[in-house]
Amino acid sequence: MLSTNIAILGGGASGLFLAKHLKSKYIIIDKNEIPRKIQISGGGKCNFTNAKISSDNYLGDKKLVSTIIEHYTNKDVLEFFGDINYRKIKNNQYFATSSKEIIDRLNQRKFIAEILDVEKKDTFHILTSKGTIKANKVVIATGGLSFGNLGASDIGYKIAQKFSHTIIPPKPALVGLTLQKEDFWMKNLSGVSVFIHVTVAHKSFQDNLLFSHKGITGPAILNASLYWDKGKININFLPNYKITKSNKAPSNLLPLPKRFVKEFLKSQNIQDSPQNLKLIIQKLQNYQLAPSGTFGFGKAEVTKGGVDTRQLNDFESIFHKGLYFIGEVVDITGELGGYNFQWCFSSAKFLADKLNLLHKIV
């Protein structure tokens, strides 16, 4: 039977980053040799952090987020990846030339096996598809449920519940939204993109909306989905646009795709005439819709919800010493733009520093 001091369950961003900074004996257990979520992120270029980060960019315990991202900042992340080619582009995101550069910088030897269960005896026993591994400490870094086709699973949540932890119900986040019948007219615009201002709950975003045959998506909607659970969202299709008098038909005047304006007017039963311009602008700037749901975990970039952070003390279980949870598996979720990778790296480094201190003391 293999034995180690620290068993890291999950070989994604948080698990690999933790291992990079540990000074005691460890083993990484994951069924995937390559961290595939990193591989596909940012269109294959991995948007691994952002130039502007605060707790306002996260859903979850703001005080905890502030503590962790201040302990290991975006500047620290850039320094760690300083030997790769990266650049800052839209919305202050930092992208690598290729996600392979990020993977090569992080990747290391793993015990390739499916994680089946964790038991606590004299030490922790991790049951895998290739045998049992003993460890003094266990770190759950298994991520969420998004991209199940890449190997995501609920094993982290199951282990947490087994050890008395509460799970905030996992839901798809940074994901497209499906439509109620009254908004089906949008499906006729598949492939069309418009710049919008969207408001949901207490948050607002200005970015592109993309219509699809399934509903609405695009950066503005992906961010809105993080804060939406049910009810209406408000969309301004003409942000910062002021009403002007004109003899032109609205479809020829407004800075929007003609196809969109015509479908919108048809849905509102309003004629495309100059006399209706003021009414049309008012409706475009104050459009409300109640999504019927999301595109699901298969299309979600991340999972919101997870292990309740109120039951963790510096990421350690308050119920079982030596059991830790980091990264996406906990109830902290970032907005679109490198914030979730930053959380994975920051939470991993915070825990690594704590474990290294304990190792030094021992």
Q: What is the pLDDT of residue 83?
A: 87
**Coil vs helix vs strand at 313:** strand
Alpha helical stretches, state H, the chain: 13-21, 36-44, 62-71, 74-80, 99-106, 155-162, 219-227, 250-253, 258-268, 277-285, 339-361
Task: Answer yes or no: are the C-beta atoms of 304 and 226 closer than 8 Å.
Answer: yes
Name the residue ranges covered by the structural domains of the chain.
2-171+305-361, 177-294
Q: How many helices (H) and strands (E) does the chain have?
A: 11, 23
Q: What is the pLDDT of residue 302?
A: 97
End-to-end CA distance of the chain: 24
**Coil vs helix vs strand at 105:** helix
Burial of 303 (0-12, 13-18, 19+ CB in 10 A): buried
User: Does this model's pTM top 0.85?
Assistant: yes
Low-confidence ranges of the chain (pLDDT < 70): 360-362
Specify the DSSP class assigned to residue 81: T
Taking the CB of residue 127, how many other CB atoms lie within 10 A of it?
Answer: 14
Q: What is the pLDDT of residue 189?
A: 97
Which position has the token pair 């839209």? 90
Is-same-fold flag (2-171+305-361; 177-294)? Answer: no
CA distances from 172 to 54, 203, 286 (A): 22, 18, 27
Q: What is the pLDDT of residue 361?
A: 62
Q: What is the pLDDT of residue 73?
A: 98
Taking only the tens place, the pLDDT of each residue in 15-50 is 999 999 999 999 999 999 999 899 999 999 999 999
State whether CATH 2.40.30.10 applies to domain 177-294.
Answer: yes
Provide the mean pLDDT of the chain.
95
CATH of domain 2-171+305-361: 3.50.50.60
Task: Answer yes or no: are the C-beta atoms of 91 and 103 closer than 8 Å.
Answer: no
